[in-house]
Amino acid sequence: MKNAIIVHGKPSREKYESSETDPSDSHWIPWAKHQLNIAGIRTVAPDMPVPYYPDYREWEIELDRHKPWQPETSLIGLSAGASLVLRYSSEYEKLRYDKIILVAPWLDIASKYGDFGNFEIDPHLSERCIGGLAVFYSSKDDDQALASLEVIQAALPNAKYIDIPGYGHYMTGNKMETNEFPELIAEML
The per-residue pLDDT for range 65-111, each reduced to its tens digit, is: 988 677 889 999 999 999 999 999 999 988 999 999 999 999 998 88
Q: Tell me the pLDDT of the chain averaged across its residues.
A: 91
Q: Bridge partners of 31?
A: none
Domains along the chain with CATH numbers = 3-188 (3.40.50.1820)
Cβ-proximal residues to 171 (8 Å cutoff; 6+ apart), any chain: 9, 26, 27, 78, 79, 104
pTM: 0.94
Asked if 156 and 82 touch (Cβ cutoff 8 Å), the reply is no
Is the model's pLDDT at 179 over the cut of 90? Answer: no
| Predicted local confidence at residue 152, as pLDDT | 96
